[in-house]
Amino acid sequence: MFSFELISADDNLLSAEKIITNRFLQSPFWASFKSQHGWSSKRYTIKALQNDISFSFQVSILIRSFKKIFSLSYIPMGVDLEQSGIVLEVHQYMDFLAELGRFLVPFLPRNTLCIRLDPPLDFSTVEERSAFLKSLKNNKNIIKSSVDIQPPDTTILDLSLTEDELLANMKQKWRYNIRLAEKKGVTIQKYHYDDIDIFYSLYEETAKRDGIAIHSKKYYSDLLQLSDSKTTVDTPLVQLLVAEHEGDTIASIITLFTKREAVYLYGASSNNKRNLMPAYLLQWNAIQEAKKYGSAEYDFYGMPPTDDETHPMHGLYRFKTGFGGRIVHRAGSFDIPINKAYKVFVFAEKIRSFFFKKIKKILAGR
């Protein structure tokens, strides 16, 4: 059993004095960004005690209220104890999270249904993750969510490698496609938040083609603008990269760089000139930029869990794994139930998820 003590509460994330080195989703920057789009946020420094173990950590909590009827509290990709130098066995860590959730309840809105979080637990295989999730089925204090907020499966490049080593680790066809795009005259340009229309028109085209949900244009514009403003001490570099050919905009991505990680957040492409392989050159350019920035790794951030040709997003799996990174299977989202109405919310959430993952893709012809 852990006991907890509140060390400090800093709701004014813009004035945080300490640079946060945790994952970008736990940063004051990300909390500040999400506060522009329907969320409020809290940041706490907490001391944990268990027998002779004592350590402190920070946690960023995002809160979404729905017409004062109920609220959700979300701890994205946390709590990461790596910065505290603490290593817990995975089941001990999950108990730690459940106990932390109970400690946090008095600091949350009274109508909070649950605390949702994405434990930063990585598994090498789908089978290892499945065994872990199965072992938690009888744990009523922390429950696997039916919906994963952050993509649980990804591939990660080690940016300590040289560019030659990174290229050598790619599949031969990927190196060929990068050279092909360059040979055919595809160029990569950087744009700013006031050029968001360039990205968004492509993103709408992509969403229609693939049957995916996207945010409003302002969402992506605000993300880029906040990075440009460097308002927080931990402000990452968020870039809008665009692939162009003979005056045509044919693909675009948005990336986020910190010293700890570089993340491929969003990608869009035109239905035209796909034979020029602009997506390959875009990614290689982003990888090079991340390496120059000093990021430790490049996270492609989201793909199907296995090389299953029947999966509707199988092409995404092939594309991202072809760059030669380490495949990672994260634990996904978990809930710490607080209110009895939580079960009703879960039922409604399953229906919504079914619509977006199944019905919308069918309507898109996939």
Looking at residue 12, what is its pLDDT? 47
pLDDT at 15 over 50: no
Confidence of residue 361 (pLDDT cuts 50, 70, 90): very low
193 and 314 share a domain? yes
Whether 211 is in a domain gets the answer yes
282 and 353 share a domain? no
* Averaged pLDDT of the chain: 91
Confidence of residue 21 (pLDDT cuts 50, 70, 90): low
Least confident of 25-34, 61-70, 342-351: 342-351
Instruction: State how many domains the chain has.
Output: 2
Whether 20 is in a domain gets the answer yes
Question: By CB neighbour count within 10 A (0-12 exposed, 13-18 middle, 19+ buried), where does 263 fall?
Answer: buried
**What residues make up the domain containing 302?**
155-328
183 and 316 share a domain? yes
85 and 206 share a domain? no
Whether 150 is in a domain gets the answer no
Other beta carbons within 10 Å of 298: 27
- Over residues 86-105, the mean pLDDT reads 94
205 and 74 share a domain? no
Nearest to 279 by CA among 315, 326, 327, 313: 315
Confidence of residue 16 (pLDDT cuts 50, 70, 90): very low
3-7, 13-17, 354-358 — which one is most confidently predicted on average?
3-7
28 and 13 share a domain? yes
166 and 138 share a domain? no
Nearest to 23 by CA among 162, 150, 145: 150
pLDDT at 19 over 60: no
Whether 244 is in a domain gets the answer yes
Least confident of 316-320, 326-330, 353-357: 353-357
pLDDT at 270 over 50: yes
Whether 215 is in a domain gets the answer yes
Residue 355 DSSP one-character state: I
105 and 193 share a domain? no
Least confident of 123-132, 253-262, 349-358: 349-358
70 and 141 share a domain? yes
191 and 338 share a domain? no
Other beta carbons within 10 Å of 332: 20
pLDDT at 18 over 70: no
The CATH number assigned to the domain holding 43 equals 3.40.630.30
